[in-house]
Amino acid sequence: MSIEEKYGYYEAAFAESDKLVPELSKALLELEPLIYSEEYCTEGGLSYDDIDLWSRLRSLTVIKGLEYPPKARPRPRPRRACHRVRAYLDHFEKLADVPLYDVMAI
């Protein structure tokens, strides 16, 4: 597949942002109760699941307009008032010293 074809897929998905971003926001709401805490996604503590989930969630932070539940607040926000998905992202951003993509979201 040529690079032009690959970019075509990205452009097509980007053109559907008005439809896809709300669907993704809804999926994050469904993920909320599945995350054990803001430090770990499973009850057993830090695991490969955290590495996998955090990297996938981090890639979503590049999406402008992605909505977190009403409890979420823009940075800075009190930890106890955070939505669990966002708190989890913020925790690993700080722990790993790897920034999220919010500042360059498109």
User: Residue range 1-21: average pLDDT?
Assistant: 94
Q: Per-residue confidence at 69, pLDDT binned at 50, 70, 90? A: low
The enclosing H or E element of 52 equals helix 48-60
Give residue 22's pLDDT.
94
What CA–CA distance (Å, rounded) separates 91 from 37? 10
Q: How far, rounded to the nearest angstrom, does the alpha carbon of residue 48 sit from its chain's CA centroid?
A: 17
What CA–CA distance (Å, rounded) separates 24 from 28? 6
CB 34 within 8 A of CB 83: no
- What b/e string do you get for 38-48 counting C-beta neighbours within 10 Å, with b at 16 or more? bebbeeeeeee
